[in-house]
Amino acid sequence: MLDPEALRQLQTGKNLLAFSAGIDSTALYHLLKDRNIPFDIALLNYKTRPQSDEEAHFATKLAEKDGKRAFVREAPLDPESRGFEKKARQIRYDFFESLVAAEGYENLITAHQLDDMLEWSLMQLCKGCGSAEFVGMQPVERRESYTLVRPLLFTPKKALRAYLESRKIPYFVDRSNLEERYTRNRFRHQAAAFLMRECSEGIARSFRYMLADKKLLQPRPVVLFRHKELTIIERPAIDDIAIRQIDRVLKEHGYLLSKAQKEEILKHRYVVVGGKWVVWIAERTIWIAPYVKAAMPKIFRERCRRAEIPEKIRPYLFMTSGLERLLSEMPTLSS
């Protein structure tokens, strides 16, 4: 059930499993344990359901029994609030990434499985996407300070449920996953469920083929300069490739571009995205950096102006003391 590439990644390094006590993460917990893969667990309790506290207690006791660390955080959210799913995802990954940084984890493991990948792809297809966006998940995905690992990506949910039930392993069912007010759930129940029931093996093979094709069709960005979160890449000749490479760099920092944001970047070339990131598409390079504000001394501003460094990039260089290194490598960047 576990992807070989993902397993190899987990053989070394310190691993943190994103846990929910549901079917997917409970099955993954025991499958990893069976393979003697060391890991700890992290659970975020949104307090949205009566059983949320039971799930957190279950996670803590399970980890304690197996000699693992369990990190549990409460982050109450109103499931009726606008943008609940997006907020929950952001809080969840902020929590996981804070643990990665504080505890020195090298791999963050999630229990995304084949049904999840199909649902995501169908949603992208209906929005309008290319082949790169259609296959959005990978078993092993490098991020800025850790590696995101999805060992179950080619395993259908029904196989995970059968595994748990055959071994009489307890798990929880999140009833909110049955509610069709959420877009993801509608795709799950009205489209993906039939396809997974009828042809899950073929779907898994297709995704493996498409991921292999994606690596050929989507070249990695050519990084010319990197300083902390500032990245300068070589600008591809084709805009579609450029925006995908920008998307890839931002994704490594945990930021996902929307379709509207991608269109805005290509239209204006020099934008602040979501109030968080500056993207500047120059003639031969693309600059990507966090958007910060800072009062800079006149001499610093003048040096940046002479070096033709974009105005909105300058505060980040000032705050991170990155100007000297950038100026020393400017001849390389312009060659």
- Min mean pLDDT across 97-111, 114-128, 278-292 is at 114-128
Delimit the domains of the chain by residue range: 4-214, 223-334
Sheet holding 270-273, edge to edge: 223-227, 230-234, 285-290, 277-281, 270-273
Q: Give the closest residue to 270 by CA, choosing from 313, 223, 234, 318.
A: 313
The share of the chain scoring above pLDDT 90, in percent, equals 69
Confidence of residue 84 (pLDDT cuts 50, 70, 90): confident
Is the pLDDT at 108 greater than 80? The verdict is yes
Instruction: Answer whether residue 218 shows pLDDT above 80.
Output: no
Ranges 33-37, 56-60, 185-189: which has the least confidence = 185-189
Angle (CA) 197 200 205, round 5°? 170
pLDDT confidence band for 229 (50 / 70 / 90): very high
Higher pLDDT, 187 or 103: 103
Instruction: Find the Cα–Cα–Cα–Cα dihedral 286, 289, 295, 296, rounded to 10°.
Output: -50
Band of the pLDDT at 65, cuts 50, 70, 90? Answer: very high
- Is the predicted pLDDT of residue 99 greater than 80, yes or no? yes
Split at pLDDT 50, 70, 90, the class of 143 is confident
Burial 124-140 (b: 16+ CB within 10 A, else e): beeeeeeebbebbbbbb
Mean pLDDT, residues 169-180: 80
Q: Give the chain's mean pLDDT.
A: 91
Query: What is the CATH topology of the domain spanning 4-214?
Result: Rossmann fold (3.40.50)
Closest CA to 135 of 121, 123, 125, 122: 121
% pLDDT > 70, the chain: 97
Cβ neighbours of residue 80 closer than 8 Å, sequence gap 6 or more: none
Q: With a cut of 70, say whether residue 179 has pLDDT above it.
A: no
State mean pLDDT over 223-251.
92
Asked if pLDDT for residue 123 goes beyond 60, the answer is: yes
What pLDDT, on a 0 to 100 scale, did the predictor assign at position 180? 65
The 10s digit of each residue's pLDDT in 280-307 is 999 999 999 999 999 999 999 999 999 9
Question: Quick one: average pLDDT of 75-103?
Answer: 87
The whole-number pLDDT of residue 290 equals 96
Beta carbons within 8 Å of 303's beta carbon, 6+ residues apart? 323, 327
Which tokens in the block code for residue 276? Answer: 């968080």
**pLDDT the model gives residue 88:** 86
> Where does the pLDDT of residue 178 fall: very low under 50, low under 70, confident under 90, or very high at 90 and above?
low
**195 pLDDT above the threshold of 90:** yes
Q: How confident is the model at residue 71 (pLDDT cuts 50, 70, 90)?
A: very high
Residue 181 reports pLDDT greater than 80: no
26 pLDDT tier (thresholds 50, 70, 90): very high
Question: What pLDDT sits at residue 90?
Answer: 86
Task: Answer whether residue 201 shows pLDDT above 70.
Answer: yes
- Higher-pLDDT residue of 209, 334: 209
Instruction: Name the residue with higher pLDDT: 83 or 124.
Output: 124
**What does the pLDDT read at residue 277?**
97
335 has a pLDDT exceeding 60: no
